[in-house]
């Protein structure tokens, strides 16, 4: 009998290959977006929206570094956004408008606040850690509301975006977009190098079993505190960019609700993947932006008054929708990509 040799089918891309290509596709999309937006007729709107996505991507990635890899649920991380933003606003109001002055001071303030609050918070665990980070965040929030010379509860408007070495490069939305993309790429590269280093392996070990890590000679507190400070610095950078993007800063930057949104972005994208946090931030902000219009269009069969009411109260749909996505897409959006494809 003659055996008929079967032609082997082309191997499906491995799980590792699929996951490795995600950040490449993500950053390529960000790089191509302004070029595509130029032909859409709504370049200013697209650039503004995607710039905001990238800024919150940095903040969410900063939180993912300690939440996804260190199991540290910080409910006060928006405080670092506020610190970065207020550093820009307060310095600008006193004549220091150059980002080369503002950003180092903002990052130093974020690092100092993270070191002091982290040194206290990390002596607790679980729900106590959550509550004490929330308390520190609210403390900074109420401090900002009491700063009457800088707008108090109403916040303060920036006269213009920061200068760079005396040049007004950031006034151009296109240039500002690319600077935000470079900051996002730099923050991602830094976070990825930390995660794959010995430091990152120890941090993941403390997440799994802190007692065992201590038994083999490591001191989890030091590694967790260092990660918390790095995370705070990255979130402070996001705050600097956010203040320049909005040309406005207020205590609302650092509310506990904003901290909750950052946690939701990380969980939505997928814990412990870094680029998942960026994807989660994009999904959250894009849903927030377009859901009212989608609801209005999808409810075409209802009376116009009912459609308008539904679009106006879109948050009643937005909240449950996010919860359903998190519940049924275990591991978030990145979790869907990790599932093996059969066929």
Most confident of 19-28, 39-48, 226-235, 320-329: 226-235
Quote the pTM value.
Answer: 0.90
Q: Are 275 and 188 in contact (CB under 8 A)?
A: yes
Among 64-68, 78-82, 173-177, 311-315, which stretch is predicted with the lowest mean pLDDT? 311-315
Radius of gyration of the chain from its Cα atoms, rounded to whole angstroms: 22
Render pLDDT for 271-300 as a digit per residue (tens, 0 to 9): 888 999 999 999 999 988 888 787 767 776
Token code pair at residue 31:
């790089």
At residue 137 the predicted structure's pLDDT band, cuts being 50, 70 and 90, is very high
At residue 14 the predicted structure's pLDDT band, cuts being 50, 70 and 90, is low
pLDDT of residue 17: 60
How far, in Å, CA of 315 to CA of 321, rounded? 9
Question: How far from 89 is each of 151, 231, 247, CA to CA, in Å?
Answer: 10, 22, 9
Cβ-count burial 114-132 (b if 16+ within 10 Å, e if not): beebbeebbeeeeeebbeb
pLDDT of residue 97: 92
pLDDT of residue 111: 97
3-state secondary structure 99-130: HHHHHHHHHHHHHHHHHHHHHHHCCCCCHHHH
Burial (CB count <10 Å: 0-12, 13-18, 19+), residue 258: buried
Share of the chain above pLDDT 90, in %: 58
pLDDT of residue 2: 41
The ranges assigned to domains in the chain are: 16-254
pLDDT of residue 13: 52
More confident residue, 3 or 74: 74
Mean pLDDT of the chain: 87
Residues with Cβ within 8 Å of residue 305, at least 6 apart in sequence: none
Phi, psi (deg, nearest 5) at residue 65: -60, -40
- Cα torsion angle, 248, 233, 279, 20, sign: positive
Q: Are 87 and 146 in contact (CB under 8 A)?
A: no
> Could you give the 3-state DSSP secondary structure of residue 248?
strand
pLDDT of residue 12: 46
């Amino acid at each position: 009998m003659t055996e008929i040799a079967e032609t082997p089918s082309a191997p499906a891309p491995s799980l590792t290959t699929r996951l490795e290509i995600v950040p490449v596709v993500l950053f390529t999309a960000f790089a191509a977006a302004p070029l595509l937006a130029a032909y859409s007729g709504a370049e200013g709107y697209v650039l503004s929206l995607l710039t905001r996505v990238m800024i919150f991507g940095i903040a969410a990635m900063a939180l993912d570094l300690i939440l996804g890899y260190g199991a540290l649920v910080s409910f006060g991380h928006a405080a670092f956004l506020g610190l970065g933003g207020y550093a820009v606003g307060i310095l600008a109001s006193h004549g220091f408008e150059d980002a080369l002055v503002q950003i180092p001071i903002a990052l130093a303030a974020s690092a100092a606040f993270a070191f002091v609050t982290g040194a206290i918070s990390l002596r607790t665990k679980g729900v106590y850690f959550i509550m004490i980070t929330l308390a520190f965040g609210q403390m900074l929030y109420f401090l900002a509301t009491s700063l009457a010379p800088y707008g108090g509860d109403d916040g303060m408007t920036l006269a213009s975006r920061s200068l760079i070495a005396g040049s007004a490069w950031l006034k151009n939305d296109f240039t500002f977009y690319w600077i935000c993309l470079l900051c996002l790429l730099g923050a991602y590269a830094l976070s990825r190098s930390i995660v794959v280093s010995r430091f990152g392996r120890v941090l993941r070990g403390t997440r799994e079993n802190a007692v065992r890590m201590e038994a083999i000679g490591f001191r989890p507190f030091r590694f967790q505190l260092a990660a918390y400070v790095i995370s705070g610095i990255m979130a402070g950078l996001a705050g600097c960019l956010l203040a320049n993007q909005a040309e406005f800063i207020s205590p609302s930057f650092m509310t506990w609700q904003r901290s909750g949104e950052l946690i939701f972005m990380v969980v939505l994208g997928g814990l412990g993947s870094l680029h998942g946090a960026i994807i989660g931030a994009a999904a959250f902000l894009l849903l927030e932006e377009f859901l009212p219009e989608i609801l209005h269009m999808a409810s075409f069969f209802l009376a116009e008054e009912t459609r308008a009411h539904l679009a106006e109260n879109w948050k009643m749909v937005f909240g449950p929708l996010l919860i359903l996505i998190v519940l049924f897409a275990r591991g978030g959006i990145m979790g869907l990509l990790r599932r093996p494809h059969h066929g």
